[in-house]
């Protein structure tokens, strides 16, 4: 059984990634079992940041590593918040970034913008490296598109999910059951892309 370290400490990501990996019977370890520091995410794309995280986790543990980087891009805002999605509202209203404040800042930026111009997509890059110096990392990407609501649909959910309307389901992303989300989300697509490539490779 191949042991893989997940290069994330985000419990929501861990839940989604572990569910996707379950059928493959990997021995999954969390990076928090080995180290607590985070690598600096100074790449200019989701792929660059995911590669940095995977290499760092592999270097620290000596194990193959799987990492992801994801975010929300809004067409009207020229792709913002993009790679800065998790820290979009840092300093906004004099407060540290949080899911609630990130969503509020986005709603404020889009105030008065009609629904036809509120299209947005979640993007995710997932990277697998066999070792820290792997010259051919396996890369998968995914996208999940909808539009930004005028206000939160519900008072629960992760990230921007309460304000992200998914027309195919007539629900906000926060209202879509996890078992469905794990099949159709941007992260699910990127993970499946990587797993398909891993099935064809020798670990």
Q: What number is the average pLDDT over the span 157-172?
A: 96
CATH number, domain with residue 48:
3.90.950.10
> Residue 42 catalytic?
no
Q: What number is the average pLDDT over the span 30-57?
A: 94
Q: How far is CA 193 from CA 23, 33, 202, in A?
A: 15, 27, 16
Closest CA to 51 of 200, 199, 194, 147: 194
Indicate whether this model's pTM tops 0.85: yes
H or E element, residue 128: strand 119-129
Q: Kindly indicate the confidence band of residue 202, based on its pLDDT and cuts at 50, 70 and 90.
A: low
Nearest-angstrom CA–CA distance, 153 and 39: 34
- Chain segment 63-86, per-residue pLDDT in tens: 999 999 999 999 999 999 999 999
For the chain, what is the domain count? 1
3-state secondary structure of 125: strand
Which of 69, 99, 108, 117 is catalytic? The answer is 69
- Looking at residue 1, its pLDDT comes to 67
Q: Kindly indicate the confidence band of residue 42, based on its pLDDT and cuts at 50, 70 and 90.
A: very high
Q: Which domain holds residue 41?
A: 3-199
Nearest-angstrom CA–CA distance, 10 and 171: 24
């Amino acid at each position: 059984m191949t042991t893989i370290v997940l290069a994330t400490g985000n419990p929501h990501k861990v839940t989604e990634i572990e569910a996707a990996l379950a059928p493959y019977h990997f021995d999954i370890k969390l990076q928090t079992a080995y180290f607590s520091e985070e690598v600096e995410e100074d790449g200019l794309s989701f792929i660059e940041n995911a590669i940095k995280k995977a290499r760092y986790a592999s270097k620290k543990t000596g194990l193959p590593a799987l990492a992801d980087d994801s975010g929300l891009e809004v067409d009207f805002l020229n792709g913002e918040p993009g790679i800065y999605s998790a820290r979009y509202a840092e300093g906004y209203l004099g407060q540290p970034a949080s899911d609630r404040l990130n969503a509020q800042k986005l709603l404020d930026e889009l105030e008065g913008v009609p629904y036809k111009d509120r299209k947005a997509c979640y993007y995710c890059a997932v990277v697998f490296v066999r070792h820290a110096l792997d010259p051919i990392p396996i890369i998968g990407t995914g996208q999940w598109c909808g539009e930004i609501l005028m206000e939160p649909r519900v008072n629960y959910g992760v990230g921007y999910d309460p304000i992200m309307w998914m027309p195919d389901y007539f629900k906000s992303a926060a209202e879509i059951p996890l078992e469905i989300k794990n099949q159709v989300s941007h992260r699910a697509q990127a993970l499946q892309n990587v797993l398909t490539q891993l099935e064809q490779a020798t670990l």
